[in-house]
Structure 1
Amino acid sequence: MDPLSNEDTKMYFYENRLKTFEGWPFDEGCSCTPENMAKAGFIHTPSENGPDIAMCFFCLKELEGWEPEDDPEEEHKSHSSSCHFIALKKKIEELSVEEFFKLQKERQKFLINKSCNEAITKFEEAAKLRRADIIKTAVGEE
């Protein structure tokens, strides 16, 4: 994982986030247009059952169930108040190198936390299955 690779940093730029909103179910006459979603840091990450799933590229918060009147920036702030991207006072292009590195460090923390939480969930699921097997074996021996 190279935190400064092009793949890891390209979503900092509005145009790249906007490109992900192909097939987004809300367009003109709505607050949650692709343009407003991308400005608020979201990328479109649809699934078979959720065509309106959007995730902040920075804090990785996923939101779905969007309504036409939902304000993407306000929704982002209310669901992920610790996101450094939505709290930025400057455009990415205006950040100093030092400011960008600090921002990227915070993003890496979100990525690491998500990865650790996924590993813990997998471990807990495997432990439940193993426990059930042990109980079956113990009950079967009685």
Structure 2
Amino acid sequence: MTAVPAVLKPSAKMIWLKERLSTLSKWPYPDSAPCSARKLAETGFFSLQLEDEPDLAACFVCLKQMYWEKNDDPKAEHASHSPDCLFVKINKKEEDLTVSEFMDLYRESIINYKKMYMNEVLNKLRTQRNEFSELGNTKSR
């Protein structure tokens, strides 16, 4: 089990297109590709900036992590893999979002991060419980 990457911790700055785009400065696909850095950022994604996985990006709201190929359509892929994402549901460009929608997106990103973190904690506790249970079974033999 891997830990929740620190880069997924909610950040109000990821609400802004320019901030998400800045994380994609080393994006492996050209601006002319269907899966360009701009198109990815416009659909809510930012780069996790992992040297060994340059095509891995996550949505700042739903935290869905995806690997991308040059000809992927970011908007269609986001909707397909994470249809309940609030960013997908709102489906607006940054300049068309209301203040309330910005706040909703940020709040949703915090909720999703807490869910991911708590699932990690629960999984670690389950693993420890199973290890203790196995240890007890071994001693009683």
Query: Normalization by structure 1: what TM-score?
Result: 0.79
Secondary structure class of the residue paired with 1:43: strand
- 8 A Cα contact 2:15 2:102, kept in partner: no
Partner of 1:123: 125
Partner of 1:108: 110
Q: State the aligned residue count.
A: 132
Q: Pick the aligned partner of 2:39 from 29, 36, 40.
A: 36
- 8 A Cα contact 2:86 2:108, kept in partner: yes
Secondary structure class of the residue paired with 1:54: strand
Within 5 Å, which residues of 2 pair with 1:84-103? 84-103=86-105
Overall identity of the aligned pairs, in %? 33
Structure 1 consecutive aligned stretches of length 4 or more whose deviation exceeds 4 Å: none
Assess, with a 3 A threshold, how the Cα gap between structure 1 residues 132 and 27 changes in structure 2: closer, same or farther: farther
How far off its partner does 1:59 sit? 0.6
Structure 1: gaps spanning 5 or more residues = 1-6
Higher relative contact order (CA 8 A, sep 6+): 2
Structure 2: gaps spanning 5 or more residues = 1-9
Within 5 Å, which residues of 2 pair with 1:66-81? 66-81=68-83
Partner of 2:24: 21
Deviations 1:101-127 (A, max 9, x none): 333333332122112111111112222
**One-letter amino acid matched to 1:92:** E
The structure that has the greater radius of gyration is 1
What is the CA RMSD across the aligned residues, in angstroms? 2.1
